[in-house]
Chain A
Amino acid sequence: MKKIFVFLIFLLAMSITMIGCSSGTTSDENENTGDSSDSSSSDNQGGDGASAGSFTYWYPWGGDSETWDEWRMEKYEEETGVSIDAVYAPPDGGLSNGKLLSAISGGNPPDLVISNDYALAYGLAAQGALEPIDEYLANAGFSEDDVLEGFVPLMKQEDGNTYLFPQDSNVNLLYYNVEMFEEAGLDPDQPPQTIEELDAAAEALTKVEGDEIERLGFIPWLDAGDGSYLWGWVFGANFFDPENNQVTLNQQALIDTYEWMDGYAQKYNPEKIKSFTSGFGGAFSPDHPFFTGKVAMTVNGNWFANALKLYSPDTEYRVAAIPSPEGGRENATTFGTNVFLVPKGAENPQAAIDFALYGSKQDILADNINTWRSISIWKETTDAIEWENDHVYDMVLDVAASSNSGHPALTSIAGQMADELMSLRDSVIYNDNNVADLLQAAEEKMQKEVDEN
């Protein structure tokens, strides 16, 4: 019996000593909040971007990315005298788990959020949860003309206002194993450019021994191909027609996309493929099927090159633009863009946007870009980027600048549509269901959602 009390007293003692320390932090926090409400008014009037003050900032990353962001914040605080109240908000800036929505509807939002889920962010903007930022961008001297064209549609909503501001972005490429290409009698200098060539190469690279798969040439839904929009986009589909507010899923391009995937599924058994290729740790472990030689080609982001360097330095690989079918989008990718947003009711939007602009500057991003080969959103490049004559980065820039690259399905229901397409694809590959029927049903369902919103 005594033990319980000893334990409770121990806990009490611990807590009391610690409350001593913590009361300090609590009062700090109060001071900060006071600061921000004071400064917000002056900031809005001043608006020259360099005004001191403070703002709250939610970021989704831990680990190295967090360290990098902390470095950026510190630098900014030093240069401008602004104090940033940064909050770690996993997994995507609090967008997908209700943290941000609760804060907005509670009238207690941060001033700035950065999210790695642009589709959800776009949906938030469409729902009216965000503050238009045109005014603040203009105050800070931003001009839309400096931004790569592929990013402009993402920033805006139907009402013509700007709501999202991209920090940086990632593209997807076809990675292929040079050694395996040579061994299969394929020319590594001539990577597949069309879907037929991709299928042929996949066939040549696949090794099946009786019932056992030893190696697969290619699997459409591995890595970035697992994303709901990538292949549809490459096949030329437009998921949504913003002008007429129409969901357009039942179209030939998407029927082709899923029937093409189903071809792989029927050939090799989707469960087997998934078991065969699933590795714990994904791209950041030596377990990834491309590293272990279980697949010869895969579509993945630019950062995958660095993962290869870290976990599989001996794999000789090259990259190419994602192969596309006739009538599809050549040299195209869907972007993986990190976006800044200002929630409705933010107290200090100008300070937030000033930092967002500062943070997307290439020389600030350089460290990030130089590690992960991500791309900046600006047309003009800077010397701080060290990827000259890098085969991968050349391809990254090429694809990023392509007019065929973009952010698909910019609608208020992008997140829901992504889930719908994912389950549609599973229904096709696992159960060999009729594609057109499923697309028609999904289209109707999504259209209803759009009409209701």
Chain B
Amino acid sequence: MKASLPVTNHMETRPDIDPTPEPKKKLKKVNKGFKQLAVYIMLILFASAFVVPFFWLLSGSLKSSSELFANPPVWIPEVFQWSNYKEAFTSFPFLLYFKNTLIIVFFTCVGAVMSNSLIAYGFSRIEWKYRDGVFILVLATLMLPFQVIMVPLFLIFKDIGWIGTFYPLIIPHFFGNPFFIFLLRQFFIGIPKELSESAKMDGASELTIFLRIILPLSKPILATVVIFQFIEAWRDFLGPLIFLSDNRLYTLSLGVQQIMSENDPRWALLMAVGVAMTLPVIIIFFFLQRYFIEGITFTGSKG
């Protein structure tokens, strides 16, 4: 909150600040070009800071072992060691783990979209008593550290015979996630009430309104939910580790470590799997990003 405090002061002193005198019109165009250039330079600076570690991963995955540890660092390997990838994929059951990961990712995405949109509808488009109180409860559940409920959860799943299956990783996603409920609720609130009301006049039920009116309008935010859920399930490590007890059900994020031997970790191969796990998501994100950003709303002014 430190960041916001100075801002608060600025806000309070706003009336004291004199608006700067109007600049000359001629300068404006030059100014604009100048501004754009400045934005570009800063963007490129920041972007390189963000991309360098990933570039390092990428180049590391193509290096020979002597290049990996060269000092000063080698940025672009002399010969691309594509064999690192081949070796990485064959040193653990990549395809099997990839398949398992996809299954989990797919069903959790479906679960997240289905359950959270229903729930968010109940928290935004229907007025009922205690609604906002219950919603605060939803937000409170965001704070639970997984480690604490991990063991009791394990016991529940064990009692219903789910340990060693994908169910513990999938089924809970069909029962809502506070983060998604919040995002969707904000979006739904922004959809004009009149749409629902006129449908109600025509005798539509809440479910019909939800399916026919709200959902079709909500694709951008649903895309957001899909992406976030995708990434979460794609990277999850502790969940699969605890709940899966069969190598054949393992996911990629668990398998990555299998490359490392205590007595001979193969760094380049590890980097290769890291790249292989990251690239597909980057591509998906690239295509979905526009809807993704459109979808998130805080003020409810979109729709």
Contact = CB atoms under 8 A, between A and B. Distances in A.
Interface of A: 1, 3-4, 7-8, 11-12, 14-15, 18-19, 21-22, 25-26, 28-29, 56, 60-66, 85-88, 90-91, 94, 97-99, 101-103, 105-108, 110, 116, 279-281, 284-287, 303, 306-307, 310, 372
Interface in B154-191: 154-155, 158, 163-165
Contact of A4 (B69, B262, B288): B288
B257 interface: yes
Given A63-B264, A86-B247, A105-B155, A285 B69 contact: yes
A313 B106 CA distance: 49
29 contacts: A1-B219, A4-B226, A11-B102, A11-B105, A12-B106, A15-B102, A15-B106, A18-B99, A26-B165, A29-B248, A60-B262, A63-B259, A63-B260, A64-B261, A64-B263, A64-B264, A90-B254, A90-B257, A98-B147, A99-B242, A102-B242, A105-B155, A106-B154, A108-B158, A281-B68, A281-B265, A284-B263, A285-B68, A285-B267
Nearest to B248: A25
Given A4-B226, A29-B246, A61 B291 contact: no
B258 to A, nearest CB: 4
Contacts of B91: 63
Contacts of B164: 29, 108
A190 B99 CA distance: 59
A284 B247 CA distance: 27
B241 interface: yes
B76 interface: no
A107 B245 CA distance: 13
Contact of B103 (A15, A88, A306): A15
Chain B: interface size category: 35 or more
A24 B66 CA distance: 43
B105 A97 contact: no
Nearest to B265: A284
B287 A303 contact: no
Given A60-B262, A87-B247, 6 more contacts: A25-B248, A66-B258, A102-B150, A116-B262, A285-B68, A310-B264
Contacts of A12: 106
A229 B242 CA distance: 30
B263 A65 contact: yes
B102 A62 contact: no
Nearest to A374: B263
B107 interface: yes
B250 interface: yes
A134 to B, nearest CB: 27
Contacts of B247: 86-88
B263 A106 contact: no
B284 interface: yes
Interface in B75-122: 91-92, 99-100, 102-103, 105-107, 109
Contact of B106 (A14, A21, A66): A14
B259 A62 contact: yes
A14 B164 CA distance: 22
Contacts of B291: 1, 3-4
B260 to A, nearest CB: 5
A19 B246 contact: no
A427 to B, nearest CB: 27
Contacts of B262: 60-61, 63, 65, 116
A62 B267 contact: no
Contacts of B249: 25
A99 B223 contact: no
B77 to A, nearest CB: 16
B96 to A, nearest CB: 8
Contact of B66 (A284, A286, A372): A286
B10 interface: no
Contacts of B107: 15
A287 B69 contact: yes
A106 B163 contact: yes
Given A22-B103, A88-B247, A306-B263, A3 B288 contact: yes
A391 B259 CA distance: 32
Given A8-B226, A65-B262, A87-B246, A14 B163 contact: no
Interface string B211-222: 000000001001
B266 interface: yes
A63 B261 contact: yes
Given A86-B247, A102-B151, A286-B66, A281 B259 contact: no
Contacts of A3: 287-288, 291
Contacts of A281: 68-69, 265, 267
Contacts of B284: 7
Nearest to B66: A286
Contact of B222 (A4, A90, A307): A4
Nearest to B164: A29
A29 B238 CA distance: 22
A8 B227 CA distance: 11
B37 to A, nearest CB: 33
Interface string B3-34: 00000000000000000000000000000000
A85 B262 CA distance: 22
Sort A-B residue pairs by CB-CB distance and give the 6 closest, nearest first.
A63-B261, A62-B258, A106-B158, A15-B106, A18-B99, A102-B154
